[in-house]
Amino acid sequence: MATVSIDVDIKAKWPQGQCSYSPGSVEELAIIGMDLLVKELGPQAARDFIEQVFEKYPEDHQVFQPADQE
């Protein structure tokens, strides 16, 4: 599996409040993004939106391996 490091601070605001995030991994960033999508679109619309990403990849998609890890 590829190791991707990220360095980001996210500040999200909406009428009912605000929050900030500092994800340390791609997985944490994805969870934050999905959480914000659900807040914005609702559960079903967020699920439909995320499904568009999975449609781009075949079921047998191979995970990227950097040349030095092969």
| pLDDT tens-place string over residues 47-68 | 999 999 888 887 776 666 655 5
Residue 48 lies in a domain: no
Residue 15 lies in a domain: yes
pTM for this prediction: 0.70
Q: What's residue 37's pLDDT? A: 93
How does residue 5 score in pLDDT terms, banded at 50, 70 and 90? confident
**Beta strands per DSSP E along 4-69:** 10-14, 17-21
List residues bridging with 19 in a β-sheet: 12
Stretch 6-16: mean pLDDT, rounded? 90
Angle at 65 between CA 63 and CA 68, to 5 degrees: 170
The number of domains in the chain is 1
Residue 43 corresponds to which amino acid?
P
Residue 18 lies in a domain: yes
Residue 52 lies in a domain: no
Instruction: Please count the other Cβ atoms lying within 10 Å of the Cβ belonging to residue 12.
Output: 14
How does residue 9 score in pLDDT terms, banded at 50, 70 and 90? very high
Residue 8 lies in a domain: yes
In terms of residue numbers, what domain contains 8? Answer: 1-38
